[in-house]
Chains A and B, each alone.
Chain A
């Protein structure tokens, strides 16, 4: 598995765990179940931590791509120093995709917290992937 697939898999594991626990908790709330998964402290804390981790991932991803934008490599390298031709198009398209995704997502699912965490994860992942592709195209390094 490459970097993108591994990161995607780990993120999907987090989303899957979050979905399972949230579904079970909402099932209990909606049906007034006698046994509520919310009473399990460990599982409830996983839910909170996973949401926090995904939110932090988005912040880190955006910090990372900002740092990539500002970075340059020495003139002794075969690559161009600023790598602008690789950065501009990719980050612009990422910005457009984020805006379109957010608008479409809000229209479809509203701004419910349970759904918004998926959008957060999706945008974080796209940001990371775009950053890796820029770096790969600029420096020519394998993933």
Chain B
């Protein structure tokens, strides 16, 4: 059975964003699928997320002072980003920042200056200028998160955190074969742009020598260690004294004086006899796996690669055009995206789990907006940071440069427990911003509670959290739960105790159920 328009919109907003409240779905349904796609893609129409003044001011601390509280900084940064995902008017922008964080995986555990990871997050949002070290909203030439991929490679290669993380900071001219450190050059090919093999043709994309030659072109790309009154290294410089000016032999071409030559070769690289570029296929694969389903068919990968290559008439290397192809109905890629195969067939990452949880449970129906994660609760910061670690996705600390393993790999016995216990923790504290009494009041559930219409209560929360009616069995089990006797807090049970214990418990059970783990 094909998806109806309402299902398509709900599906789109789960994948291209962080899940929409039923009220938002009503509004979007009235506007229609096409208008919803346009709003997501052209997010510059809407305001960007606001910076957290505490994070901004921490960037000016002396390194000694900063390091004393860098763990707390990381927790605050995590809270702020999750809050941004929950409250943003530009959901696709934040989703793409998450995509780039997973693809260009950088961890604070490889960094001396943890402040740089915040700059990288703003870089991926399009708000960082590496040449001046400034956060600007937006930074005029910055191509992230949906612009020209060729330029993204440049901005990535100038990113202070990346330069430290993969040692290019220390890559200096050595000889006509290789720079002094090939680490970044290797990952630029293997993980960040095309992969070892062409994802469709399964032939090697490059040789070890291509990597060594690329490392020469990247010599002298580094961050000024002390500059411009900043308290930590954050300004990119091209250090001609340490640079090897070529010419290089790279991906079958000879020439160049700098890394631009390498970036140009990478984005245009086609294996013999292949109609699509290696990078177009790699990104087509990664984008579709991220938004649609895992292991997309070669036709889908190739269709997206054609868009990347500009063979469909669009400007080449344009990520937004690829996303438009995925989300706009009427082509082979979007048919797959809106297919039954894709529908509810994605395991929420811990980030998506947390963001969707807060989006739905802090949504204020009066203002029509989610309120997000309150900034100043030390307990919530701890719950978030421990929870994300236990659930397996500590933001800003991917396990290694290849990022997180997505899909069913998110679900292990440990993470099932961690998701269950995270829900206990956020529902068990009043400073998490989740107001159960308001939720019940705004849903008009008081009457159902007073008249013991448990089925109605279950139906309401299933529609909110699972975005689907409950199965007969689930409805039965949850109704039985609401009926099950519990010694309540006061001696004479009343409806406020019922809300505090049983409605809270119902929400908890729904958050822990398989239905809430998929999107």
A and B co-occur in one complex: no
Interface positions of B (Cβ within 8 A of A): none
